Structure 1
Amino acid sequence: MKKILPVLIILIVLVVSAAIMLGVKFQKTIDWEESFNETSNKPYGVSVLYKELPNLFTPNKVRTVYHQPASYLKAHKADGFGDHEAKGSFIIIGNSNYLEASSIDALLNFVHTGNTLFVSDYVFPQKIHDTLNFDIEYIKNEIDSTSYLSLKHFDIPDIKIDKNVGDNYFSRFDKTTCDALGYSKINYKHVNFIKIPFGEGTVFLHTEPKAFTNYNILKENRFRYIEGVLSHLPNSDLYFDSYSKIQTGYDGNVEKQSNLSWFLDQTSFKWAWYTAILFGILFMIFNAKRRQRIVKTIRPLQNTTVGFVETVSNLYFETQNHKNLVQKKVTYFLEKIRTDYNMDTSTLDESFIKKLASKSDKNIEDVKKIVDYINWLNSKNEFFEENLIKLNRHIESFYAK
């Protein structure tokens, strides 16, 4: 041990010195990527807007959509499997190019039935252009990197958008039915915010999503412009389109980022963390051999059934493995149906529903609800806590009557 001690001291000094030097000298580069991520605190994330939406639309609910609008709106129709019927305003900030044709149709149908769609992006999917009959053009900022935004119906000073090499604007739209609500100015004023009636609802299109980002909302009085833009939306429930689906794929399989990732982005904490890990490893290495073996304590056998159940339940709760739990509950429920009523559960169709209702002496509508919900769950790949809770309520209701 005496021979190893000097080497250990030298190693510790080197690690600490490197951590201090890098922590002092290394200056983190600002990430100016325009992600429009509602969880990002970077300049062009939209976390500030996202956190303020409940205050702007109080007392209505603000819900975050982690799936393609087509699947979400289908599940939350009047006859869908969601926990409510989707009504209100659907808002998309940037990244609208991910929208599939089916989702665009679903959003337009959502508007047609009396709801609202708000999209702020530089360009929009061609299907939206063709359906709503408008064109967009780009003007380059040849003087500086600044443009000025204003609203038609709000008496507020023009706000400045810097770091802007150019503007997209509406070069053509039907002025007999559409209203110009806002303008952007580079060299001359042009329309960048319009209102389009569609069916019984309204579509709002805006071509400067950077205005909604953290950098611009927190700078000077630019937040007043955002308040003015969003004040055009009705005071109703809001559905905020999440950036997470773009990050993890268009299928909506959302994987949450580790909570440690933000801390590891901070240089000083990162090196402190790595140093602590290194010291922990060294401690384990030099204390692996003890001077005397531990005397084993032999304890009487205990009934660990309750402890096992608590451990397993805590494991599922901590890992949030809703998919595994949903599949197990469905499997156990169908196994009980096979055991209690001697029925084949391989095909859950109308014939199965009628037969189960007859054998179990249950109301056929109640049986249809749980069977249809199980069929819907079997078609999904991603599950949330609300799916598990709703399935459990269906099963408890089936056995309670």
Structure 2
Amino acid sequence: MTTKFKVLVGCLVLLFAMLIYLETTEKEDINWFPTYSKKDKIPYGTFVLYNTLKESRGAENIVDVNRPPFEVLQDSSFEGTYFFINTQVPFDEAEANRLLKWVTAGNTLFVASNSMPEALLDTLNLETQAYYDLDNLENKPVLQLSNPALQRKNAYYIDLEIGATEFNEIDTLETVVVGEFDLNKGDTTTLEEPKTHFIEQAFGEGKIYLHLMPTAFTNYNMLYEYNYRYVENALRYLPENETIYWDDHYKNGKTVQQSPLYIFLNNRYLKWAYYLLIIGVLLWVIFEGKRKQRAIPIVKPLSNKTLDFTETIAGMYLDKMDHRSIAFHQINHFFEFLRSEYLVNTGNRDKQFLEKVSLKSGNSEEETKNLFQFIDDILSTGNVSQEILLDLNKRIEQYKSTT
């Protein structure tokens, strides 16, 4: 290894070490994707809410549900509060009907979502619409609960730009307004024009709670000033002694199986270790292969002159019209074939010899006898014509092809 090569490798290693250091020490960007997953500690995760519920209600009373509600509610022992929180909770008509039937039996349904399923709204005589304040570019809502016992002197301010949705039409005979909101108009302590976003409705023997601002239950909002008290008071409407079934099926950040390579590439340290390994292998192949590999010269194999020699000798015999010599050579070549392939002695061509050759070659005894009779006639004659020579060649090739 030359000094120049060592310096080059050292510079490359130092360069990669600096890149890895800069990458690993760089502050990671905040992930603002709304996963609403109980495992995520990012702003729009629900890690704080989930663990707060486990502490306040008891871990044994919080049950994770990973299957669709339509499938889960087939179990008659499934009783308590079904808790949904996500950007959207897309119940179809059959699933919504099964949920409502389950609530009728005396259970509780809680749904926090930016939009409610049409099948649910139609049954409950509700309508929603997006709310915009064209005179205000800031879409940061201010929340307040309707119950005076649960109200805070100053309203709860969500320091996030979000899209707001309101219940613009409700059945006042069946529906109770639980919470209201307004967009920030400069005063974050009061609601100048309250809009409904949180309602309660009795349904059969149970109750349904619909909340149009799931952002209020996220990690960011619960850790912002005193907003955790809003969540605490909002969840007081849920029955205290019932099991809460936490839905993990309708989640943007639902856990799915990932390949090992995906996990590697999504971890900063594993990703750079993987890249460094690949780069190191490539460098080793390039430099080590260049240092040791040499061009292998092409050596032409010796040409086989046997065929040329045979053609020359055969041409000489043909020119002299010496068919008898050619026939003898052909017979000797055939005998050599019998001796090498069948291990028979061609010196004594008696009946036992014919039977052995017939058995090993797969030809009949009659064919074998005729062939050797023809050969013996040629060997005993003094003159061989061209027709006999061709006939001999034909018979031998046909006999060998059967073998």
TM-score (norm 2): 0.60
Counterpart CA distance in 1 for 2:122 and 2:65 is 25
Q: 2:146 aligns with which of 152, 158, 177?
A: 152
| From 191, 195, 199, the counterpart of 2:196 | 191
Equivalent residue number for residue 9 of structure 1? 10
**Counterpart pick for 1:179 among 172, 176, 179:** 176
Query: Does structure 2 conserve the Cα–Cα contact (< 8 Å) formed by 1:92 and 1:120?
Result: yes
| Stretch deviating more after TM superposition (155-164 or 274-283) | 274-283
> For the residues of structure 1 that align with 2:15 and 2:91, how far apart are their CA atoms?
52
Paired with 1:123 and 1:229, the residues of 2 have a C-alpha distance of 19
**3-state DSSP of counterpart to 1:37:** coil
- Decide which of 239, 246, 251 is 1:240's aligned counterpart: 246
**In structure 1, how many angstroms separate the alpha carbons of the residues matched to 2:8 and 2:98?**
67
Residue 89 and residue 286 in structure 1: after superposition, are their counterparts in 2 closer, same or farther (change >3 A)?
farther
Q: Which residue of 2 aligns with 1:223?
A: 228
What residue in structure 2 maps to residue 67 of structure 1?
Answer: 67
Change (3 A) 1:102 1:95: farther
Aligned length: 274
Q: 1:90 aligns with which of 76, 82, 88?
A: 82
Cα distance in 1, alignment partners of residues 108 and 281 from structure 2: 56
Offset of 1:13 from its aligned partner?
A: 1.3
Equivalent position amino acid for 2:160 in 1:
K
Q: Which one-letter code corresponds to 1:115 in the other structure?
A: N
Q: Is the 8 A contact 1:46 1:213 kept in 2?
A: yes
Distance 1:257 1:214, change over 3 A: farther
% identical equivalent positions: 29
Compute the RMSD of aligned alpha carbons: 3.2
Find the counterpart in structure 2 of residue 37 from structure 1. Answer: 37
Call closer, same or farther: CA 1:98–1:18 in 2, change over 3 Å.
Answer: same
Matched-pair contact (CA < 8 Å) for 1:37–1:244: no
Equivalent position SS for 1:96? coil
1:128 lines up with 2:124 in the alignment: no
* Structure 1 gap segments, 5+ residues each: 78-84, 249-253, 288-401
Distance 1:284 1:224, change over 3 A: farther
CA change 1:52–1:257 in 2 (3 A) is farther
Q: How far does the alpha carbon of each residue in 1:39-92 deviate from its partner, in whole angstroms, 9 at most, with x for none?
A: 222211112212222113226521111111001121x22xxxxxxx21100011
SS of residue matched to 1:188: coil
Which one has the largest radius of gyration?
A: 2
1:8 to partner: Cα distance: 3.5
Amino acid in structure 1 at the alignment position of 2:272: W
- Counterpart-to-counterpart distance in 2, 1:166 and 1:271: 38
Q: 1:224 to 1:273 in 2, by over 3 A?
A: farther
In 2, the alpha carbon distance for the partners of 1:15 and 1:86 equals 57
Report if the CA contact (8 A) 1:120-1:207 is conserved. yes
Q: Secondary structure at the match of 1:16?
A: helix
Shift of 1:283: 9.0
- Paired residues of 2:65 and 2:249 also in contact (CA < 8 A): no
8 Å CA contact 2:104–2:206 kept in 1: the answer is yes
Structure 2 unaligned regions, length at least 5: 184-191, 289-403
Distance 1:51 1:278, change over 3 A: farther
Distance (Å, rounded) in 2 between the aligned partners of 1:167 and 1:96: 14
Q: Per-residue deviation at 1:246?
A: 5.4
Q: Which amino acid in 2 is paired with 1:230?
A: L
Separation (CA, whole Å) in 2 of partners of 1:147 and 1:93: 18
TM-score by length of 1: 0.60
Q: Is the 8 A contact 1:38 1:243 kept in 2?
A: no
Alpha-carbon shift at residue 111 of structure 1 (Å): 0.6
The Cα shift of 1:135 comes to 1.0
Separation (CA, whole Å) in 2 of partners of 1:229 and 1:262: 37
In the TM superposition, residue 29 of structure 1 has moved relative to its aligned partner by 3.1
In 2, the alpha carbon distance for the partners of 1:145 and 1:158 equals 16
Question: Whole-Å Cα distance in 2 between the matches of residues 57 and 256 of structure 1?
Answer: 30
Distance 1:112 1:164 in 2: 37
